[in-house]
A and B are shown apart, each in its own frame.
Chain A
């Protein structure tokens, strides 16, 4: 789960990492009033979960309250990579002398946390890794012990020559690790880590990704979710136990299992069509899930054809057929429907659906080709 900068800053502050005072604002007036309580200059930053805010005009420096109001009205309402800016933070600015990059993330290959540091802060670390790989320093964290303070110092002294600064960075790194564990993060990133003219370090920007698996076990972390910015259908699917991602095409699909759902979307493309979504109805046979799936798909104005692809293993095809039939009876979708059911109790499923005039495909490729050709007819 990606969380907004203001939530990430709050978390860092809780774990003792220096963050400049800031206030969240939703209107130019709120931003103006916030600025009156802060020390100038201040920086205004769009709160959206996509990168490239600066380039899109979503970050501005202001030196007086009138400027704050002016820039706030510019930023609020901007669209950055398709996302409308609904809120900004007004934050005291750091008088930056040096900028660094520092993060703790998960190394999937080594199965351990890893510290990443660079002297080139304020730029995209992947960009640095491509253009100047030597400038990106990595340090593995012991998976059983975690990041011990002496290890944090060992690393800091290896990348920073000035002892006082190295100790300060080691301290900060150790606090970052506590935050990483404290909120079950997959990533805690400070970029830039800003050093001011007095040699103090500040988290001038912050990005935290919380482990989705931890959310099931630690529901209190849900408070960091920014519901406003999530696709309403994705949220609706999630609350019903489905997994949905909107794509750009016109064939809406409902599939059981994540891998098969991905492969279905891929094959639609392979045969010349375009998937409108990824939708995994999950492993259970609950008829309610099939109904919700169809509600979400038929509610998407881009969908021209509906494709249902089920490989029944533990999931029973007849249960799916019952759910599908009641969903069709209730929703009466206008779009043509292509159904493929294979596996456990497929004969029973046929007996339920064929009387309703629904042809059941046995083969996935044939069903997908049919859906693609139907989507062309309706174009």
Chain B
């Protein structure tokens, strides 16, 4: 098993005719993801790698039974694409686009919550359940089916950690990039709740970074509610205050959200925090072997 995406995923790609949209549609198809529809207003009737293109998300869902959407639409139109997806009938939306204004995301976040639609991202690499489905831009070759769940605010740092997890012989159940923006649809805690229910996930890796309190909230949830071992990694120990470190959400404001504070807080709760990506895998392996004995 896995969470969020699997062989039941019927994927719709919003922005399928764009450069990124078409490139990754091919990569997702090659991985075995069932891409059933594309959306590109004005290009309905065309085909991209044999996937039918529709003028609207609603039409795409009506004709193909798509249940999940991935958004590659440029930032200026991405908020609108998110609203459109929410009225199309899909239950899960993954938004890759970076640069959606925060005030748009505030409304979109609460709207998705009230409709019960799962939103991953924006500004994220997507979700992969190895050997089952890939929704987004994650590089397939580094993943291997296994029993470690991975949740991350980053892209390439996730790949680095996953590379070590795979190399040490563990493998992943599902890996989710939740996004680097100040407001994202799904938090660490939301996904821990899903991993808790997933019998095939044996341990979870949290990859956090400076900014906000998402890691602290995850720590509090883990201590009171979570039943599986968790290993964390926090990026940005050397980040100066008040500077945005690449991601819109990676900024230390008012002295809150430093990596050191987050790591200390998690350690105080008894959650191991690795100092390097390689150490994440080594700690995990130790825990899993220890449990096996």
Which residues of chain A (338-379) have a CB below 8 Å from chain B? 342-344, 363-365
Q: What is the CA–CA distance of A280 and B111 in the complex, to the nearest angstrom? A: 33
Whether B236 and A266, one on each chain, are in contact in the complex, defined by CB atoms closer than 8 angstroms, is yes
Closest to B216 in A: A109
Closest to A218 in B: B101
Whether A213 and B102, one on each chain, are in contact in the complex, defined by CB atoms closer than 8 angstroms, is yes
Closest to B237 in A: A266
A262 interface neighbour in B99, B138, B163, B239, Cβ under 8 Å? B239
Whether A364 and B207, one on each chain, are in contact in the complex, defined by CB atoms closer than 8 angstroms, is no
- Residue A26 CB within 8 A of the other chain: no
Whether B101 and A364, one on each chain, are in contact in the complex, defined by CB atoms closer than 8 angstroms, is no
Given contacts A112-B106, A278-B246, contact A259 B152 (CB under 8 A): yes
Q: Helix, strand, loop or mixed for chain A's interface?
A: mixed
Whether A257 and B101, one on each chain, are in contact in the complex, defined by CB atoms closer than 8 angstroms, is no
Whether B155 and A259, one on each chain, are in contact in the complex, defined by CB atoms closer than 8 angstroms, is yes
A217 interface neighbour in B101, B207, B248, B275, Cβ under 8 Å? B101
- Point out the residues of chain A lying under 8 angstroms from B210, CB to CB: 262
- Point out the residues of chain B lying under 8 angstroms from A267, CB to CB: 275-276
Given contacts A216-B99, A258-B245, contact A312 B139 (CB under 8 A): yes
Query: Number of A-B pairs whose CB atoms are under 8 Å?
Result: 182
Given contacts A267-B276, A269-B237, contact A259 B207 (CB under 8 A): yes
Q: Number of residues in A with C-beta < 8 Å to the partner?
A: 53
B235 interface neighbour in A256, A259, A342, Cβ under 8 Å? A259
Size bracket, chain B contacts: 35 or more
- Residue A296 CB within 8 A of the other chain: no
Task: Of the listed stretches B52-60, B65-73, B177-185, name the one at the interface; the rest are far from the partner chain.
Answer: B177-185
- Distance from A320 Cβ to chain B, minimum over Cβ atoms (Å): 12
Whether B75 and A278, one on each chain, are in contact in the complex, defined by CB atoms closer than 8 angstroms, is no
Whether A106 and B182, one on each chain, are in contact in the complex, defined by CB atoms closer than 8 angstroms, is yes
Pick 20 A–B contacts, CB within 8 A, sort by A.
A106-B183, A108-B183, A108-B213, A109-B217, A112-B106, A113-B106, A186-B102, A186-B182, A213-B75, A216-B99, A255-B156, A257-B246, A259-B246, A260-B155, A261-B245, A262-B157, A262-B235, A262-B239, A266-B236, A269-B238
Q: Interface residues, chain B, CB within 8 Å of chain A?
A: 75-76, 98-103, 105-107, 109-111, 125, 137-139, 141-142, 152-160, 163, 180-183, 207, 209-213, 217, 233, 235-240, 242-250, 254-255, 259, 275-278
Q: Interface residues, chain A, CB within 8 Å of chain B?
A: 2, 106, 108-109, 111-113, 126, 143-144, 181, 184, 186, 211-214, 216-218, 243, 245, 247, 255-263, 265-270, 275, 278, 280, 283, 311-315, 342-344, 363-365
